[in-house]
A and B are shown apart, each in its own frame.
Chain A
Amino acid sequence: MLDQLTHSPHFYHYLYLAVAFLAAFNILEVLFLLVHKTRMERNEIRKEALKRRVSTAIVTVTDPAEILPEPSDYVEYAAYSEAISSVLESFEGELAQRASGLVRKLGIDSYYRSMARDAVWYKRASAIDTLSAFRLPHNREFFLAVFRSEASADVRYRIVFGLSLLARGSEDIVAISKALSSLPYLTAKYTEDIFFNIITALKLAGKEEDFGKFLTAIMNDASIRPLIKRDCIAACHAAACERAATVVKRYFLTFKHEPEILIACVRSLVRMGNFDVIHEALFHPDWRVRLTGLKYAHLSKDDLLKDLKRLLHDSNYHIRVNAGQALARLGAPGAQALREAAGADDKFAAEAAAYALTLAEAAR
């Protein structure tokens, strides 16, 4: 093959051409690299200056749109949107209203709405992220419309996230849950995040009890995956949705064979000040439920000394170690039990007790 190539009259012409092309390409590459770097640096400086200007205008001027120019390119739109998002994250009331007003008056939302229809999926995703950060109620319909036509799951997840920030009541929760159900389950934290946003939005709207109603409605709905139910309860924990405490307790009593739901229930109820479930959790056959109970055992009003001593002999390593630490948190009676266990025949229990004692001493 090589012989044929090297004997071809055009072969060396092509090789010379390749050399010339590569040499020129390398020089152009270096030039482009330097020009691009300079341009990026200038854009960064411009963006930072504009961000400062926009933030200052929102804080100091009643109608910032009057003194701020309309953004003209991607860098300026990015500067405006970052400054506005930052204000919306940090302030409520009049300042937040001014920032939101700026989005509409300067056509920033229109720009990102058109970008949300771009052919490249990650540009659409970025646009949806930005629009979500604005938390503009009128974007709700836009999000729902885009969701219906969107092909990329990556973008659809982001749209649902954006919708969750705009929830106003029961109808929205149902719409978001439907949208969520139409997508493959992503992660526990994503779903929890969605419901966390919903609860936060409902709390702001004074409709926190709507979430409790939603939890009741889905409790026996077999079409909703247990994982989703668990994430809803985990969101109650994260967002401290206290009005849902009664429903969460009902979940705890109903889903005896769903350890994941039980763990979420224990964590949520404890955060809401309901410690009744801790004792029962310590007896659950699934070690993860027992472990969750142990984490909060010191808060229980029941006398758990005997149960914790028993758990020092548990077959699971994590339970033994955490039972020791739970005993240490009980104060003098717990410490006494640990000293006794540290000298016991059960090597594993003795190790767990000795470790808990050293930790307690170090903490002192």
Chain B
Amino acid sequence: MNHHIIWAAFAIQHVIFGYFLLINTTYTLLILLALKDILKHSYLSTARSTRRLLVADSYYKPVSVVVPAYNEGPVIVQSVRSLLNLHYPEFEILVISDGSTDDTIETLKKEFRLQESKKPVRLQVPHAPIRAIYVSADYENLIVVDKENGGKADAINAGINVSSYPIFCSIDADSLLEPDALIKSSKLFIEDDELIATGGIVRILNGCTVKDGSVLEIGMPHSTLEAIQVLEYTRAFLSGRTGWNILKSLLIISGAFGVFRKDMVVAINGYRKTVGEDMDLVMRLHRHCKDNKIPYKILFVPDPVCWTQAPFSLKMLLKQRNRWHRGLIDCLITNRKLILNPKYGAVSLLGTSYFVFVEALGPVIELMGYLSIPVLYFWGLLNTKFLLLLVVVAILWGISINIATIFLDTYNYRRYKKNSDILRLCLLAVVEFFGYRQLTLLERVKATFSFRSTQWGAQKRQSIQADAQKSGS
């Protein structure tokens, strides 16, 4: 028995060492690729081209903005006001109340003078029955759909069916789009006929000053828990997605902000009911296009910005991470055809492999690493010197990746202008490795063993203004 335990602990050392090299090398390569891409982007994204698109009325495609909402009463008005501020020649906003049990519909009815509409709906993708459709008397492009509860994916499907335009943008109800975000992302559909989906960067709203649905002042949240998420999001989007973009292996377009060609989403029967519906959709789009030999592109663009509320308590954060990890595993199982299948090229061999071996299996491997330490120590087999040095190298390497991410953000976008904010982010790049990482790791391990659960784990909502004040005060 002892022999087996010792053998396992030894074996796990090799796996951990390999995992350590794999994960850090991947992140470093992604950072380098992202740096190259951002350099290119800084040369090519001229204000001139956006201006030309805005002034000439023939250079756009109308867009339907779909906002699934479940009990979003405290934030929905701000969110809709933010969307009404979008700079775009022709768009409609579809708020889909997914069987909300709070005052979401009543608040919207009162605030935007909703009137019932008899718009006929075409059942292109499946969803739960619609109870009523309303149109605002004040804003003719604001449509509210009241439907029976069916989950986020189901609500977006309803939005797709009610929408009138060939491109739709899906955005979370607790998020705010920057006024030019829609034109920056949808102009890509004009510039490239092969583009079927794109997403912009999602940034943390906590700590920012918001007025009438617009972000007036950008700031870092005071709470360390929320501030670390700023770093995490920046890393995930600016290095992760930009890097995967270049490798043509982008597997996620955030559910908080994504723009899609409707005909392609309809062709794959819309969103599938899962807690990782955003990743699942992109993976199925890849499969559909590759299976049917359709030339296509799925791109991440770093400058359209969507501001979203991050969990402000540890409990909410862990719930969110649990859901994300369950979603990831569910998507990988459902789309297992993509795993190590040369038919799907880089999407399978690079993108999906990374998600399987680093993101999905990573937490379990990392936990086994932690557990093997006392086992080896107990049997007197622990090489303490090697362990300490390896841990120090891993942390320092991780910190350098984090700081490089902050550099990527500062190089081109400079959202956080104060030096104190930048220095705080650098400090958080260190702090992240002590406690925060282990807590989220444990939650992801828990999620690994409960991935069949389809519970969403609804988040508490605060009014966007109140939230910003709370974090900023």
Q: CB distance B403 to A26 under 8 Å? A: yes
Instruction: Name which of A40, A237, A357 has the most chain B CB atoms within 10 A of its CB.
Output: A40
Task: Check B411 for interface membership: any CB of A closer than 8 A.
Answer: yes
Interchain CB contact under 8 A, A193 and B59? yes
Residue B406 at the A interface, CB < 8 A?
yes
Chain A residues with CB under 8 Å of B419's CB are 34, 37
Residues on A with C-beta less than 8 A from B40 are: 122
Q: Known contacts A196-B56, A354-B118, A355-B117; is A123 also within 8 Å of B43 by CB?
A: yes
Q: How far is the CB of A13 from chain B (nearest CB, A)?
A: 11
User: Count of A residues near B, CB < 8 Å?
Assistant: 52
B interface residue count range (under 10 / 10 to 19 / 20 to 34 / 35 or more) = 35 or more
Is the beta-carbon distance between A2 and B17 smaller than 8 angstroms?
A: yes
Interface residues of B in 85-125 (CB under 8 A from A): 115-120, 122
A200 → chain B closest CB, angstroms: 10
Q: Is B190 an interface residue, CB under 8 A from the partner?
A: yes
Evaluate contact between B410 and A2: CB separation under 8 angstroms: no
- Is A105 interfacial (CB-CB < 8 Å)? no
In the assembled complex, the Cα of A321 lies from the Cα of B121 at a distance in Å of 10
Task: Given A34-B422, A37-B410, A187-B193, check contact A122 B43 (CB 8 Å).
Answer: yes
Of A17-25, A53-61, A207-215, the one with at least 4 CB within 8 A of chain B:
A17-25
CB distance from B350 to the nearest CB of A (A): 23
Q: How far is the CA of A354 from the CA of B121 in the complex (A)?
A: 13
Stretch at the interface among B221-229, B300-308, B394-402: B394-402
Q: Once the chains bind, are B410 and A36 in contact (CB under 8 Å)? A: yes
Cα(A18)–Cα(B24), bound, Å: 14
Evaluate contact between B118 and A351: CB separation under 8 angstroms: yes
Question: How many Å lie between the Cα of A110 and that of B245 in the bound state?
Answer: 35
Interchain CB contact under 8 A, B56 and A362: no
CB pair A12–B46 under 8 Å, yes or no, is: no
CA of A151 to CA of B20, assembled, Å = 41
Contacts of B46 in A (CB 8 A): 126, 129
- Once the chains are docked, how many angstroms separate the CA of A85 from the CA of B191? 22
- Min distance, Cβ A186 to any Cβ of chain B, angstroms: 8
A192 neighbours in B (Cβ, 8 Å): 58
A:326-364 near B, CB below 8 Å: 348, 351-352, 354-355, 357-359, 362-363
- In the complex the two chains form, is B399's CB within 8 Å of A26's CB? yes
B392, CB-defined interface residue at 8 Å? yes
Judge if B192 is at the interface, Cβ distance under 8 Å: yes
Are A32 and B383 interface neighbours, CB within 8 A?
A: no
What B residues does A29 contact at CB under 8 A?
400, 403-404, 407
Main SS of the interface on chain A?
Answer: helix
B13 close to chain A: CB less than 8 A? yes
Nearest B residue to A188 via CB reads B193
Q: Which residues of B lie under 8 Å from residue A123 when comparing CB positions?
A: 43
Contact check, B397 vs A22: say whether CB atoms are below 8 A apart.
Answer: yes
User: What is the bound-complex CA distance between A30 and B116, given in angstroms?
Assistant: 57
Across the two chains, which residue of chain B brings its CB closest to A29? B403
B191 close to A362 (CB less than 8 A):
no
A-B contact count (CB 8 A): 121
Residues in B with CB closer than 8 Å to A175 are none
Min CB–CB distance A126 → chain B (angstroms):
4
Residue ID in chain A nearest B195 by CB atoms: A187
User: Does A33 contact B389, Cβ atoms closer than 8 Å?
Assistant: no
A22 and B400 contact, Cβ closer than 8 Å, known pairs A12-B389, A122-B43, A129-B48: yes
Among residues 47 to 75 in chain B, which have CB atoms less than 8 Å away from a CB atom of chain A? 48-49, 56, 58-59
User: A142 interface residue, CB < 8 Å from B?
Assistant: no
Tell me the bound Cα distance from A10 to B414 in angstroms. Answer: 43
B118 lies within 8 A of A6 (CB): no
**Do A33 and B14 contact each other (CB < 8 Å), given the known contacts A12-B385, A22-B400?**
no
B389 touches A2 (CB 8 A): no
Q: Which of B58, B116, B120, B192 touches A351 (beta carbons < 8 Å)?
A: B120
Contact across chains for A2 and B48 when beta carbons are under 8 A apart: no
- Indicate if the CB atoms of B120 and A348 lie closer than 8 Å: yes
Given contacts A12-B385, A187-B191, A354-B118, contact A33 B403 (CB under 8 A): yes
- Chain B residue at smallest Cβ distance from A193: B59
| Residue of B whose beta carbon sits closest to that of A78 | B46
Q: 7 extra interchain contacts, Cβ-Cβ under 8 A, other than A26-B400, A190-B191, A355-B120?
A: A12-B386, A29-B404, A40-B411, A317-B122, A348-B120, A351-B118, A362-B117
List, sorted by A's number, 26 A–B pairs whose CB atoms are closer than 8 Å. Answer: A12-B385, A25-B400, A30-B403, A33-B407, A33-B422, A40-B411, A85-B48, A125-B43, A125-B44, A126-B43, A129-B44, A129-B46, A129-B48, A133-B48, A186-B191, A187-B191, A189-B190, A190-B191, A196-B58, A237-B58, A238-B56, A238-B58, A321-B120, A355-B120, A362-B140, A363-B140
